[in-house]
Amino acid sequence: MTAPADVSAEGERELSRSLTHRHITMIGLGSALGTGLFLGSGSAIATAGPAVILSYAAGAALVGIIGLVLGEMTIAHPVRGAFGSIAQRYLGPWAGFLTRWLYWEGAVVAVGGEVVAAAVYIRFWWPGVPLLAAVLAVAAVVLGVNLISVRSFGVAEFWFSTIKVTALIVFIASGALLVFFGMPHTPAVGLGNLTRDGGFFPAGGSAVWVAMAVVMFAFAGFETTFISAAETSDPGRSIRTAMRSLVWRLGLFYVVAISLVVTLLPWRESAGGDGSVQASPFVRVFADMGIPAAASLTNAVVLIAAISAANANLYGASRLLHSLGHDRLAPAALGRLNRRGVPVFALIGSACGIAVAAGLAAYGVSNVLNVLVSIAIFAILLVWLLILASYLAFTRGRGRASADGRGGRVPGGRRTAWAGIAGVLAVMATAAVVPAMRQAAVIGLGFTLVLLAVYAVVIRRRTAPAVVEEEPVTV
C-alpha cells in the first residue's frame, strides 16, 4: 500500500520521504550508467585511442569533486529542488531559477534520447514493430513507474541498476580473464593492444583533453542521487554513504570497463561504430568467450540501461520542475502534489518535453535535435559550475557550520572546489578545437541568456524572492 504524502503545518502536502538507503545508493548509478557507457564510448576512443583511459580517469576525478561538494551541501540542506534550491539560497533567486531550468532541459533531452534508444533495442528483436509504437511503450512504462509513487520509482530503479551493475561486473571479470588468462579455444589477449597501432597516444597527448568533450557527458545524471534527498527517510546517513559509494563506483566502472575495451580490441575496431548493438564491444567480449546469442544478451542489458537512465532522469527533471513551481519560479500548478506525494503536473510537463525530444530523435529532425543536444551539453557544464560556485558561497556562510558533526566534509574544502571549477572550464575550452562543443557553447550561451532575460522581465517582476524552505535534517 502506498503511503500518503506528508502534510506541513500549513496544511500543504509535502514530498513523501519513502526512499530507503538502498534505493538512493543505486539511483545515481541508474541515471549515469546509460547507453553512453555500453554503446557510446566509441567516439571518445576514436579521438584519443588507448589514452582515452586517462580521459575517463580525469572525468571520474572531476565528477568525484562535484559529488563530494554536492554531498556536503545536501547533508546540510536536504530540501526539495536540491542543488537548485541551494544555489537560490547562496547565490540568489536568479541562480536557483537558472540552475533548475538548465538541468531540467538537459535531463529532458537525455530522457528523450534514452527512450528512442530503448525503442531501437526493442526493434532489434521485433523489427516489424513501428518505431513510434515502441517509443510510446517505453515512455508509458517510465511515466507509469514515476506516477505510481516515489517508492515504486525507487524499487524499480534499484532493480534496474542492480541488473546493470551485475552486467558490468560480469563484463569486467570476463574481460580480465580474456586479457590475462584466456578461455578455452581463446588465448590470452595480453596488453599489446594498448601500444599497438600508433602507441598509447596515437593522436598525441592533447587528444586526452579533446576527448573530454565527449567523456564528461557519459557521467551526467549522477546528480539525481542528491535530488532524491528530499524524499529520503534518513537523508544524513543515506547521502553520506551514497556519496562515497557513487564516487568510487562510477570511477571504477567507467575507467576499468573502458580500459578493458581498448585492451581487448584494437582501438580502431572499437572506435566510432554505428550505434548498433552489434557494434558494441560487449558483444565482442561475450562472443569471444563462446557465449551464444551474445548480441541478444547485450541487447537485453542496453535495453535495461536505457530504461533505467530514462526512469532516473525523468524523476530528477520532474522534481526540479516541481521545486520551480513551489518557489514561484514557474507556474504554480507544477508545485502541487497528489495525495501520494507525487508531483503529477511536473511529471506531465517533463513528459511533454520528452515527447518533443523523442519525436525529433525518432524521425531524424537532425538540425533541431542537434540544437537541443547542444543546449543540453552546455546546460550540464553550466549547472556544474553553479554547483561549485554555490559551494564556495556555502563555505563562507552558516551552511558549512550546520554540516559540522555530520560528516561529508570535502577534503581540501574550497581548494578542491576551485580545482573542480578549473576542470569544468577546461572541458568548456575544448570548444576551441571541437566543432560540436563550439556549437554547444554558442547555442547554449544563447539559451542561457534567454532564460536570464525571462527571469529579469517576467519572474522577477511577477513575484518577490521566494524563501527556500529548510527541512529538518535527520542524522
Q: Residue 31: its pLDDT value, please?
A: 67
Instruction: Using alpha carbons, list the distances in angstroms from residue 128 to 33, 124, 296, 374, 467.
Output: 29, 9, 17, 32, 53
Q: What is the pLDDT of residue 264?
A: 86
Closest CA to 37 of 170, 285, 218, 294: 218
| Lookup: cell for 54 | 586517462
Q: Supply the pLDDT for residue 369.
A: 57
**Distance (Å, whole) CA 191 – CA 211:** 22
Quick check: is 357 in a domain?
Answer: yes
Question: Whole-angstrom Cα distance, residue 156 to residue 31?
Answer: 13
List, as one string, the DSSP characters of 234-290: SHHHHHHHHHHHHHHHHHHHHHHHHHHHHHHS-HHHHSS--S-GGG-HHHHHHHHTT
Tell me which residue has cell 566510432: 272
Backbone angles phi, psi at 284, to 5 degrees: -60, -45
Angle at 158 between CA 150 and CA 77, to 5 degrees: 55
Assigned domain for 354 exists: yes
Quick check: is 134 in a domain?
A: yes
Residue 468 lies in a domain: no
Domain assignment present for 315: yes
Residue 132: the pLDDT is: 81
Tell me which amino acid residue 394 is. Answer: F
The stretches of 339-429 forming alpha helices (DSSP H) are 344-362, 366-396, 398-403, 414-428
Domain that holds residue 104: 25-462
Bridge partner residues of 371 (DSSP): none
Q: What is the CATH number of the domain that holds 427?
A: 1.20.1740.10
Q: What is the pTM for the complete model shown? A: 0.85
Looking only at the bridges linking them, the beta strands covering 13-14 and 6-7 are antiparallel
The per-residue pLDDT for 461 is 65
Residue 473 lies in a domain: no
Asked, for residue 151, whether it belongs to a domain, the answer is yes
Q: Which of 257, 220, 215, 167 has the alpha carbon at shortest distance from 427? A: 215
**Residue 280, Cβ neighbours under 10 Å: how many?**
26
The reply to whether 32 falls in a domain is: yes
Q: What is the dihedral of CA 83, 88, 90, 92, to 10 degrees?
A: 150
Domain count, the chain: 1
What's the length of the chain?
475
CB 13 within 8 A of CB 339: yes
In contact, 61 and 427? CB cutoff 8 Å: no
Q: What is the pLDDT of residue 225?
A: 82
CA distance 192 to 179: 10
Burial class (CB in 10 A: 0-12, 13-18, 19+), 392: middle
In this predicted structure, what is the pLDDT of residue 471?
47
pLDDT of residue 16: 62
Q: Any idea what DSSP says for residue 472?
A: P
Q: What's residue 272's pLDDT?
A: 63
Per-residue pLDDT of the chain (475 residues; tens, 9 = 90+): 444 444 443 445 566 666 766 677 777 676 677 666 776 677 788 889 999 999 999 999 999 899 899 989 988 888 888 899 999 999 988 999 999 999 998 888 888 878 888 888 888 888 888 888 888 888 888 888 888 888 788 888 888 888 888 888 888 888 888 889 887 777 888 999 999 888 999 999 999 999 988 888 778 878 888 888 777 777 777 777 777 777 777 788 889 989 998 898 888 877 765 555 656 666 766 766 667 677 788 788 888 888 888 888 888 899 899 988 888 888 888 888 888 778 899 998 888 877 887 777 667 665 665 666 677 888 899 999 999 999 999 998 654 544 444 556 888 889 999 999 999 999 999 988 888 888 888 888 888 999 999 998 877 766 554 444 454 443 3
Helix ranges restricted to H, 149-234: 150-180, 206-219, 224-227
